[in-house]
Amino acid sequence: MLHPESRLPVQASLDCYSEILTKIEENGYDNLGKRAYLSKEEKLMTLPASWYRTQDISQFLPLWGEEKVIM
Protein backbone atom coordinates (compact mmCIF):
# COMPACT_ATOMS: atom_id res chain seq x y z
CA MET A 1 0.00 0.00 0.00
CA LEU A 2 3.05 2.26 0.15
CA HIS A 3 4.11 4.39 -2.77
CA PRO A 4 6.72 2.43 -4.77
CA GLU A 5 9.46 4.98 -4.01
CA SER A 6 8.86 4.55 -0.26
CA ARG A 7 8.92 0.77 -0.17
CA LEU A 8 12.69 0.17 -0.15
CA PRO A 9 13.56 2.41 2.83
CA VAL A 10 10.70 0.97 4.87
CA GLN A 11 11.57 -2.64 3.97
CA ALA A 12 15.29 -2.06 4.62
CA SER A 13 14.48 -0.63 8.06
CA LEU A 14 12.23 -3.58 8.82
CA ASP A 15 14.94 -6.05 7.81
CA CYS A 16 17.69 -4.27 9.77
CA TYR A 17 15.60 -4.01 12.93
CA SER A 18 14.66 -7.66 12.56
CA GLU A 19 18.37 -8.56 12.50
CA ILE A 20 18.97 -6.40 15.58
CA LEU A 21 16.17 -8.25 17.38
CA THR A 22 17.86 -11.53 16.47
CA LYS A 23 21.10 -10.26 18.02
CA ILE A 24 19.24 -9.19 21.16
CA GLU A 25 17.78 -12.69 21.45
CA GLU A 26 21.26 -14.20 20.97
CA ASN A 27 22.53 -11.95 23.81
CA GLY A 28 19.90 -13.42 26.11
CA TYR A 29 17.98 -10.11 26.08
CA ASP A 30 20.87 -8.41 27.92
CA ASN A 31 20.51 -4.93 26.39
CA LEU A 32 22.43 -3.19 29.15
CA GLY A 33 25.49 -5.45 29.23
CA LYS A 34 26.01 -5.94 25.50
CA ARG A 35 24.97 -3.69 22.64
CA ALA A 36 23.08 -5.26 19.75
CA TYR A 37 23.82 -3.56 16.44
CA LEU A 38 24.57 -4.18 12.78
CA SER A 39 27.85 -3.17 11.20
CA LYS A 40 27.85 -1.16 7.99
CA GLU A 41 28.69 -4.31 6.07
CA GLU A 42 25.79 -6.21 7.63
CA LYS A 43 23.41 -3.36 6.76
CA LEU A 44 24.65 -3.31 3.17
CA MET A 45 24.21 -7.08 2.93
CA THR A 46 20.51 -6.75 3.78
CA LEU A 47 19.81 -4.34 0.91
CA PRO A 48 19.56 -6.83 -2.00
CA ALA A 49 16.99 -8.95 -0.17
CA SER A 50 15.13 -5.82 0.96
CA TRP A 51 15.03 -4.55 -2.60
CA TYR A 52 13.76 -7.90 -3.88
CA ARG A 53 10.99 -7.96 -1.28
CA THR A 54 9.74 -4.60 -2.62
CA GLN A 55 9.34 -5.98 -6.14
CA ASP A 56 6.00 -7.41 -7.30
CA ILE A 57 7.63 -10.67 -8.42
CA SER A 58 8.57 -11.47 -4.81
CA GLN A 59 4.90 -12.31 -4.17
CA PHE A 60 5.14 -15.20 -6.63
CA LEU A 61 8.80 -16.18 -6.19
CA PRO A 62 9.71 -15.64 -2.53
CA LEU A 63 13.27 -15.76 -1.27
CA TRP A 64 14.56 -19.10 -0.02
CA GLY A 65 13.12 -19.84 3.41
CA GLU A 66 10.23 -17.41 3.10
CA GLU A 67 6.59 -18.26 2.61
CA LYS A 68 4.61 -17.20 -0.43
CA VAL A 69 2.41 -14.16 0.24
CA ILE A 70 -1.04 -14.38 -1.31
CA MET A 71 -2.79 -11.06 -1.89
Helix (H, G, I), strand (E, B) or coil at 55: coil
pLDDT single digits (tens) 13-24 = 999 999 999 999
Distance (Å, whole) CA 59 – CA 63: 10
Distance (Å, whole) CA 45 – CA 59: 21
Q: What is the pLDDT of residue 71?
A: 46
Q: What is the mean pLDDT of residues 48-66?
A: 82
User: Which of left, alpha, beta for 70 (phi over 0: left; psi -120 to 50: alpha)?
Assistant: beta
